[in-house]
Amino acid sequence: MNKKTIIIVGIVVGLFLVGGGVFAYSNNQNEKKEQEKMAMEKKAESEAMMKKDEAAAMEKEKMAKEGDAMTKEDAMSKQGSYVTLADYNKDPSKYADSKKVYFFHASWCPICQGIDKEINADMSKIPAGVTMIKTDFDNSTDLRQKYGVTTQYTFVQVDNNGNETAQWSATSLAKAIDGIKS
């Protein structure tokens, strides 16, 4: 081989190597750009999913709160009421659609105090459609005489005309509720 051929072969090999290096470098750069692009797309997708999940969680929380509000409203409509005799006497017609039960209560009576505490601790224990009327045993002698009540913690159920339909004594709220007639 002559010198000229060797130089030409060397140049061709050199060009081939340089060209291959440029090609490899260029290919590597394109691959990096593609990976960066994919990473950015993945990040954008991830952020979009997080926002979507956040929105879904907020919607779920909102619905739960609305559900709680509805549950509380339902509970309120499904429980009876507990009123004083004075409040009842202001507008008895307000309670026309409920079963009315006088609870002859004395402030000095431990059983009466216990029942009163039970009611005030959880008004939902009074069944729907029942109005319990807290009646002072000592000061309501006219009602005591009308219904023949001789002891505190006596319960008297009456109709809309004030006629007695049932009478019983109870030492707990559960027993008082058990005495209510349908």
Residue tagged 């593609």 (tokens): 34
Residue 87: C-alpha distances to residues 91, 106, 141, 178 (Å)? 7, 17, 18, 25
Query: Is the dihedral angle over the CA atoms 53, 59, 63, 65 positive or is it negative?
Result: positive
3-class DSSP assignment, residue 104: strand
| 67-82: pLDDT as tens digits | 554 444 444 456 899 9
13: left (phi over 0), alpha (psi -120 to 50) or beta: alpha
Mean pLDDT per 10-residue run, the chain (182 residues)?
73 66 64 72 70 71 60 55 94 92 96 94 93 96 95 95 94 93 87
Longest pairwise C-alpha distance within the chain? 142
* H helix runs in the chain, sequence order: 3-77, 85-90, 110-121, 141-147, 173-178
pTM: 0.58
Q: Which pLDDT tens digit goes with each residue over 133-154?
A: 999 999 999 999 999 999 999 9
Query: How many other C-beta atoms lie within 10 A of the C-beta of residue 174?
Result: 11
Angular region, 87: left φ>0, alpha ψ -120 to 50, beta rest = alpha
Burial letters for 146-156: b for 16+ Cβ neighbours within 10 Å, e otherwise? ebebeebbbbb
